[in-house]
Amino acid sequence: FDYSKHPSKPAPDGKCRPDLVLKGHNTEGYGLAWSPYMAGQLLSGSDDAQICLWDTQANQSKGNAINAKSIYVEHQSVVEDVA
């Protein structure tokens, strides 16, 4: 994501316009890790005890929303970091 393509101040109307909306977690997230091997692959960990795998280069059939490619649910507690 290229921060130089986005303003440093919010829009006057106060609306957030993200490039992508990643759908999969049920609560706030903590850890993010980009794959060094596969471009656009992202892991995220969250308060919902899940790890989501995203393909940010996937075909976006719902505008800017992307559903998780895989969701791992074996953790019993918060996932604070991924690598």
Determine the Cα–Cα distance for residues 31 and 75; give it in Å rounded to an integer.
Answer: 14
Q: State residue 41's pLDDT score.
A: 95
Q: State residue 35's pLDDT score.
A: 95
Determine the Cα–Cα distance for residues 70 and 7; give it in Å rounded to an integer.
Answer: 32
Using DSSP's 3-state secondary structure scheme, residue 42 falls into strand
pTM reported for the whole predicted model = 0.80
The 10s digit of each residue's pLDDT in 21-73 is: 899 999 998 899 999 999 999 999 999 999 999 999 887 666 788 999 999 99
Q: In one letter, which amino acid is 17?
A: R
Q: State residue 24's pLDDT score.
A: 92
